[in-house]
């Protein structure tokens, strides 16, 4: 089976969050399961020079206001990618979504409508020699593909089925209504009404309406988003499609995230050589200017700093953590107020709290290797990957009981500890006092090093790779290819 991924980011080429990790690793896991999966994404600056064997697969004289080409090649990992080279849309310094001023690019609607448009063209056979049996869309940036597939479909030339994975319902692709005129959606056709969202248009809504199937990245998040409390205005639409909504927990690339072979860590280790992790801890403490104390439980955070992630709770619980001899290391970037609050906390507790503002992939590996525990206090979390990296690195996750966090961490309550199934700590509700209790429980267990190491080993032996999830996607694809009514 041939599957086309359409995505705005893909590790290792471009990454702002977990979507990139998924778009980079899942196709490789699918390939191992016999699926010919290829990934379409924009050729942001510098990307064309990072693929091998580039060939021009298609040229387009006018793609939303300029010339474009589709360049096919492979990443260093062997992933087959198509880079959409449209300089008028993507060749600019800045991030995939934000300019250097930190604001959304003003033409993000055109940039991602163009990506979606090309996705639909490729899906409908625009490239000689390769057409997918199914299109797998990711988030609002590729959701319009489903509408374009619907519009293009005819009884004699049906479009292939589409699956839209919602990685985060908070990002809905909202734009002013008058922009619809620029999106190559024929006037008078249903999609225009189907894009309307409380006085704006939403690209995600088009995907929710027109994709043959919807999925999200954990079963708990799939249940949460059909409720008014967590549906972010989409719950009614999603309830209407509940029969076509599946939750599949993400995996992680366990060759990139392997403490035994990780090139970024100071001292490689595995579950049998857990003692070596102390070397990574000392190295991290040294690198961050924390006191070199082997006995201090070192908690870490690696995260986008946004309201979603609940990190505003940290300053409140910090004093009691430090009073109990713990240390905290934060790596993150995002909200300026949150950055400032965390930097203030670090200044107040030199040697005990370290905050690195920025995005640093190698350092994130050293955090996972060097810390004793990773804190993920998200208010909502579709899946979450850092707790999975934590499991793999024996860095005990302390997580809010929401979304994928609830699905991937088994709380170290007495019964679970006794049965040897615990892998971390969960807390609810998502507030400072529940977080503080969970951190206290972790510090208590840390004091009993044998029990702590049992927890670490159990976490490290959990299967967090992609093979289980990939098999579930293959099942779903097969069902859709056989049964989906052509849009
Ligand atoms: P989200 O996609 O919502 O940000 P995930 O937990 O799914 O959350 O994925 C976040 C990914 O981004 C992880 O791979 C994490 O290690 C990485 N990450 C987040 N912030 C940073 C940072 N400041 N530096 C390096 N990596 C980061
Ligand atoms: C989103 C979610 C995160 C998830 C990631 C990959 O960014 O916020 O929870 O792990 O997508 O699916």
- pLDDT number for residue 483: 78
Is any ligand 1 atom within 6 A of the Cβ of residue 368? no
- pLDDT by residue (tens digit) across 295-352? 999 999 999 999 999 999 999 999 999 999 999 999 999 999 999 999 999 999 999 9
Angle (CA) 483-485-487 rounded to 5° is 145
pLDDT of 429-447, one tens digit each?
Answer: 999 999 999 999 999 999 9
pLDDT at residue 190 above 80?
A: no
- pLDDT, one tens digit per residue, over 2-32 is 999 999 999 999 999 999 999 999 999 999 9
Q: Is the CB of 171 under 6 A from ligand 1?
A: no
User: What pLDDT is attached to residue 335?
Assistant: 94
Question: Closest by alpha carbon to 150, among 487, 486, 481, 483?
Answer: 487
Beta strands in 265-314 (DSSP E): 298-305
Tokens of 297: 């439980």
**In this predicted structure, what is the pLDDT of residue 270?**
97
Quick one: pLDDT at residue 37? 98
For every residue of 164-208, which 3-state class applies, written as one string? EEECCCCCCCEEEHHHHHHCCCCCCCHHHHHHEECCEEEHHHHHH
- The finding on whether 384 has its CB within 6 A of some atom of ligand 2 is yes
User: Dihedral through CA 476, CA 21, CA 425, CA 323, nearest 10?
Assistant: -170
pLDDT above 80: residue 475: yes
Token output for 46: 């510098």
The CA-atom distances, in angstroms, between 180 and each of 90, 109, 187, 188, 458 are 20, 9, 9, 11, 52
The distance between the two most distant Cα atoms of the chain, rounded to a whole number of Å, is 71
Residue 382 alpha carbon, nearest atom of ligand 2: 9
Note the pLDDT of residue 192: 63
DSSP character for 312?
Answer: G
Residue with tokens 């869309």: 137
Residue 267 has pLDDT above 80, yes or no: yes
Report the distance separating Cα 326 and Cα 124, nearest Å: 57
Q: What is the DSSP string of 260-274?
A: TT-TTSSS---GGGG
- 217 CA: nearest ligand 2 atom: 12
pTM > 0.85: yes or no:
yes
Encode pLDDT of 283-298 as tens digits. 999 999 999 999 999 9
pLDDT of residue 105: 98
CA distances from 167 to 52, 381, 383 (A): 29, 9, 8
298: CA distance to ligand 1 center in Å? 19
277: Cβ below 6 Å to ligand 2?
no
pLDDT, residue 191, reads 58
**Whether residue 385 has its Cβ less than 6 Å from ligand 2:** yes
- Is residue 435 within 6 Å of ligand 2 at its C-beta? no
Tell me the best of 9, 16, 17 to mutate to test the pocket of ligand 1, counting ligand atoms within 8 Å of each CB and taking the most. 17
The mean predicted confidence, pLDDT, of the chain is 96
Ligand nearest to the CA of 331: 1
The response to whether residue 22 sits with its C-beta less than 6 Å from ligand 1 reads no
Q: Is the CB of 381 under 6 A from ligand 2?
A: yes
Query: How far does residue 302's CA lie from ligand 1's centre (Å)?
Result: 6
C-alpha separations of 127 from 35, 47, 281 in Å: 19, 21, 51
- Residue 16: count of CB within 10 angstroms of its CB: 15
From 24, 169, 217, the mutation candidate for ligand 2 (largest count of ligand atoms within 8 A of CB) is 217
With a 6 A CB cut-off, is 24 part of the ligand 2 pocket? no
Query: Under the phi-then-psi rule, with left for phi > 0, alpha for psi from -120 to 50, and beta for the rest, what region is 126?
Result: alpha
Q: Which ligand is nearest to the Cα of residue 305, counting in written order?
A: 1
Tokens coding 14: 């471009």
Q: Do residues 4 and 115 make contact, with C-beta atoms less than 8 angstroms apart?
A: no
Question: Each residue of 243-253: pLDDT tens digit?
Answer: 999 999 999 99
Q: What is the pLDDT of residues 44-67, one digit of tens each?
A: 999 999 999 999 999 999 999 999
Using a pLDDT cut of 70, give the percent of the chain over it. Answer: 98
**Is residue 479 scored above 70 in pLDDT?**
yes
Gap from CA of 382 to ligand 2 centroid (Å): 6
Question: Domains in the chain, start-ordered, CATH in brackets?
Answer: 2-251+467-483 (3.40.50.2000), 271-460 (3.40.50.2000)
Residues 6+ apart with CB under 8 A from 188: none
Q: What percent of the chain has pLDDT over 90?
A: 94
Distance (Å) from CA 330 to ligand 2 centroid? 19
Is pLDDT above 70 for 188? no
Q: Does any ligand 1 atom lie closer than 6 A to the CB of residue 310?
A: no
Mutation pick for ligand 1 pocket among 354, 378, 385, 389 (CB with most ligand atoms within 8 Å) = 385
In a 3-state reduction of DSSP, which class is residue 316?
Answer: helix
Q: What is the DSSP letter of 213?
A: E
Separation between Cα atoms, residue 166 and residue 141, nearest integer Å = 11
Q: Is the CB of 424 under 6 A from ligand 1?
A: no
pLDDT at 186: 79
Ligand approaching nearest to the C-alpha of 469? 2
Task: Report the separation in Å between the CA atom of 305 and the middle of ligand 1, taken as the mean of its atom positions.
Answer: 10
For residue 326, what are the CA distances in angstroms to 113, 255, 368, 389?
48, 31, 17, 21
Q: Which SS3 state, helix, strand or coil, does residue 53 take? A: strand
Rounded to whole angstroms, the Cα distance separating 241 from 204 reads 14
Q: Whose CA is nearest to atom 7 of ligand 2?
A: 18
State residue 195's pLDDT score: 82
pLDDT tens for 107-137 read 999 999 999 999 999 999 999 999 999 999 9
Nearest to 57 by CA among 135, 123, 126, 120: 126
Q: Whose CA is nearest to atom 4 of ligand 1?
A: 17
- Please say if the pLDDT value at position 194 is more than 80: no
* pLDDT exceeds cutoff 90 at 176: yes
């Amino acid at each position: 089976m041939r599957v086309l991924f359409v995505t705005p980011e893909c590790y290792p080429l471009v990454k702002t969050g977990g979507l990139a990790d998924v778009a980079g690793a899942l196709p490789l896991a699918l390939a191992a399961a016999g699926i010919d999966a290829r990934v379409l994404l924009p050729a942001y600056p510098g990307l064309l020079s990072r693929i091998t064997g580039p060939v021009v697969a298609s040229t387009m004289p006018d793609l939303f206001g300029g010339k474009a080409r589709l360049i096919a090649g492979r990443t260093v990992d062997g992933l087959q990618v198509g880079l959409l080279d449209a300089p008028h849309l993507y060749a600019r310094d800045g991030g995939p979504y934000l300019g250097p001023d930190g604001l959304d690019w003003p033409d993000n609607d055109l940039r991602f409508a163009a990506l979606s448009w090309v996705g639909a063209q490729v899906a409908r056979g625009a490239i000689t020699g390769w057409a997918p049996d199914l299109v797998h869309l990711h988030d609002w940036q590729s959701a319009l593909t489903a509408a374009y597939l619907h519009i293009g479909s005819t009884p004699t030339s049906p479009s292939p089925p589409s699956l839209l994975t919602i990685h985060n319902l908070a990002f809905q692709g909202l734009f002013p209504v008058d922009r619809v005129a620029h999106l190559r959606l024929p006037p008078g056709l249903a999609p225009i009404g189907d894009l309307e969202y409380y006085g704006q248009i939403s690209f995600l809504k088009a995907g929710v309406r027109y994709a043959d199937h919807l999925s999200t990245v954990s079963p708990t998040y799939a249940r949460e988003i059909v409720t008014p409390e967590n549906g972010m205005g989409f719950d009614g639409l999603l309830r209407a499609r509940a029969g076509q909504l599946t939750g599949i927990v993400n995996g992680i690339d366990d060759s990139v995230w392997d403490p035994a072979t990780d090139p970024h860590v100071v001292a490689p280790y595995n579950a049998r050589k857990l003692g070596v992790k102390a070397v990574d801890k000392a190295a991290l403490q040294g690198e961050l200017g924390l006191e070199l104390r082997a006995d201090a439980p070192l908690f870490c955070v690696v995260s986008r700093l946004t309201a979603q992630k609940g990190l505003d709770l940290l300053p409140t619980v910090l004093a009691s953590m430090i009073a109990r001899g713990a240390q905290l290391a934060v790596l993150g970037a995002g909200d300026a107020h949150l950055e400032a609050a965390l930097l203030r906390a670090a200044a107040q507790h030199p040697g005990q709290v370290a905050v690195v503002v920025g995005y640093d992939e190698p350092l994130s590996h050293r955090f996972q290797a060097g810390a004793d525990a990773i804190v993920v206090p998200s208010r909502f979390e579709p899946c979450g990957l850092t707790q999975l990296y934590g499991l793999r690195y024996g860095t005990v996750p302390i997580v809010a009981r929401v979304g994928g966090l609830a699905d991937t961490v088994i709380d170290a309550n007495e019964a679970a500890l006794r049965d040897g199934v615990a892998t971390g700590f969960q807390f609810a509700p998502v507030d400072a006092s529940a977080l503080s209790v969970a951190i206290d429980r972790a510090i208590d267990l840390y004091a009993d090093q044998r029990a702590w190491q049992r927890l670490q080993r159990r976490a490290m032996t959990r299967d967090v790779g992609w093979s289980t999830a990939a098999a579930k996607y293959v099942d779903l694809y097969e069902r859709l290819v056989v049964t989906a009514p052509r849009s």
